[in-house]
Amino acid sequence: MSIVAIVGRPNVGKSTLFNRLIQRREAITDAVSGVTRDRHYGKSDWNGKDFSIIDTGGYVLGSDDVFEAEIDHQVELAIDEADVILFMVDAEDGITGMDEDVANLLRKVKKPVVLAVNKVDNPEREANAVEFYNLGLGDFFTLSSTSGSGTGDLLDKIVELLPDTPVREDSDLPRFAVVGRPNAGKSSFINALIGEDRYIVTDIAGTTRDSIDTKYNRFGFEFNLVDTAGIRRKKKVKEDLEFYSVMRSVRAIEHADVCILILDATRGFDGQVQNIFWLAERNRKGIVVLVNKWDLVDKETNTAKEFEAQIRREMEPFTDVPIVFISVLNKQRIFKAIETAVDVFKNRAKRIKTSELNEVMLPIIEHYPPPSLKGKFVKIKFVTQLPTPQPQFAFFCNLPQYVRDPYKRYLENQLRKNFDFNGVPVSVYMRKK
């Protein structure tokens, strides 16, 4: 999936436009807060093309503010990773010195740049917008991110510039992406698998830019193992390892079937790991959590049980995820981790017959029907699994609008209890009968 980065100085309306784009249709994934101030990741689509959006912080060249300096580095990384760059300026303020700083940076980039003049909400500002030709970036689009006017033409241009999704080799093979924060043991995990297993076939170029897919055969199951560690040279990463780990994970997650999320036991399920976890969940991918460096933790009788319980509290409400405690250094349970990932992939691809679904779920619903709302009683009469790559179920009833989220979660939990969707996000939809 392609990436669009929104850049510009502070207070030009980047976040407002970002929020509008990710809410363009009901099925859009919610934005996921990132690791630093004003950092957001989301998904959108236009004219049948899906793409990710990064809302960067405001770019302030040469600022003495430590926070702003870090944001500047991260904007540069976002530009480096993006396929299309959306440069936003403010019609109300006109061209400022900071705008010129950003334009100077973008003129050196060999990537498509779309100039968007925001806050154009009257004819006078429309006429005055011609001054932005002076930035030397060619034609521009005028819009109002608050009202949404002009965003359609802007999106038409963006999707026109997005690269076509490449056809990937071995497209029928499942893809397992190894993701996590820096120094959690991703590379060591991959190396331990490759170094010990003689069934390795070959390394092939993947669709995740600059990543490596290792075709792997174990347990009688063949798949591509995607390494997100070490994708870039270290001099490119600078001190922004945290942000860049999310950048790499965005692409890897979107092209994966199962995400193997490795965390450092000495650091726990912290905010950075949670961001990556929720990126995978919102992309409806299978998830396996590996707690690495378990050999470094001082243990008592219930240490593992308490550690796992803490992780599941942070995962709520999606807690039906396998957690495996490993030590890559000592090669403890690393193959158990892969075996678990294979099981999760099978769960994600699971198809349940409609007759079996109704035989199991309708008595459960009859025993505990949806609560009445405004004196209305909901009667669910039929359930079927939708023909999608991940488990999605449609429950047909007389008043779908009266079924609230708590009851949908109840239905999801019953599906998990009876059909085993461990490690896989499950979607429940109510439909009019």
H/E stretch holding 75: helix 66-81
State yes or no: 301 annotated in a binding site. no
The answer to whether 127 and 153 have CB atoms below 8 angstroms apart is no
Residue 152: CB atoms within 10 Å: 13
State yes or no: 346 annotated in a binding site. no
State yes or no: 236 annotated in a binding site. no
State yes or no: 182 annotated in a binding site. yes
Torsion sign (Cα): 275, 280, 352, 382: positive
State yes or no: 228 annotated in a binding site. yes
State yes or no: 55 annotated in a binding site. yes
* Nearest in space to 373 (alpha carbons), one of 402, 398, 347, 350: 402
Tokens of 382: 């039929």
The answer to whether 320 and 414 have CB atoms below 8 angstroms apart is no
State yes or no: 230 annotated in a binding site. yes
State yes or no: 120 annotated in a binding site. yes
State yes or no: 344 annotated in a binding site. no
State yes or no: 355 annotated in a binding site. no
Tokens of 215: 């075709």
Tokens of 259: 């995400």
State yes or no: 121 annotated in a binding site. yes
State yes or no: 118 annotated in a binding site. yes
State yes or no: 231 annotated in a binding site. yes
Q: Give, in order, the Cα–Cα distances in Å from 162 to each of 81, 112, 155, 431.
A: 13, 9, 11, 35
State yes or no: 180 annotated in a binding site. yes
Q: Is 345 helix (H, G, I), strand (E, B) or coil?
A: helix
State yes or no: 13 annotated in a binding site. yes
Burial grade of 34 (CB within 10 A; 0-12, 13-18, 19 or more) = buried
Q: What CA–CA distance (Å, rounded) separates 146 from 359?
A: 49
Longest dimension (CA), the chain: 73
Tokens of 309: 């319980």
The answer to whether 116 and 151 have CB atoms below 8 angstroms apart is no
State yes or no: 295 annotated in a binding site. yes
* Nearest in space to 342 (alpha carbons), one of 407, 284, 422: 422
State yes or no: 44 annotated in a binding site. no
State yes or no: 166 annotated in a binding site. no
State yes or no: 293 annotated in a binding site. yes
State yes or no: 203 annotated in a binding site. no
State yes or no: 97 annotated in a binding site. no
Helix axis angle, 14-22 relative to 151-161, nearest 10°?
A: 80
State yes or no: 56 annotated in a binding site. yes
State yes or no: 317 annotated in a binding site. no
* Nearest in space to 91 (alpha carbons), one of 58, 57, 128: 128
State yes or no: 292 annotated in a binding site. yes
Question: In the chain, how many H helices and how many E strands?
Answer: 13, 17
State yes or no: 65 annotated in a binding site. no
State yes or no: 240 annotated in a binding site. no
**Interstrand relation of 221-227 and 175-179 (parallel, antiparallel or unpaired):** parallel
State yes or no: 186 annotated in a binding site. yes
Amino acid identity of 309?
A
State yes or no: 275 annotated in a binding site. no
Binding residues: 8-15, 55-59, 118-121, 180-187, 227-231, 292-295
Binding residues for GTP: 8-15, 55-59, 118-121, 180-187, 227-231, 292-295
